[in-house]
Amino acid sequence: MTDKGPVMDYDRALSGHPANEPAPDVNRKEMEQKGLIVTSTLTSWVGPWGISYAANLTSDATGIGKWTEKQFFTAIREGKYKGLENSRMLLPPMPWDMYKNMTDEELRAIFAYLKSTKPIKNVVPAPTPPVTAASGK
């Protein structure tokens, strides 16, 4: 964060939310109840769904390094985590439904680009459910 707002750290481009950085320090219950979406780094997001983190999209094994093209297509076309059929849905703010109608050729080009990126080892934290889900209210 700078005096002009967030600035991209290109040394960590596409590596997702840094494993050792905390989620935004906000009143989560209030954010969820008001339907607000909050971020401080553009890599972690608090909203009515809980906390979600930007994924590692680099070619490292902790990113999409071991993914198949089929997994990538499943992630984008069906919104499935890691492109696995029986996995959870991708969480906001990932706008997978905005990309699901891309052609096979377009998705192949994006996948090829991501596979060509510098591998950056970064295990992104798992999402956190909403506070209201944890309290049952």
pLDDT (tens digit per residue) in 89-135: 999 989 999 999 999 999 999 999 999 999 999 999 999 999 976 65
Query: pLDDT-derived band of residue 86, with 50, 70 and 90 as boundaries?
Result: very high
Q: Is the pLDDT at 6 greater than 60, yes or no? A: yes
Tens-place pLDDT, residues 10-35: 899 999 999 999 888 899 999 889 99
pLDDT at 124: 96
Task: Pick the closest to residue 63 from 19, 16, 96, 9 (CA basis).
Answer: 16
* Residue 23 to residue 20: CA distance in whole angstroms: 10
User: What's the rounded Cα separation, in Å, for the pair 55 and 50?
Assistant: 16
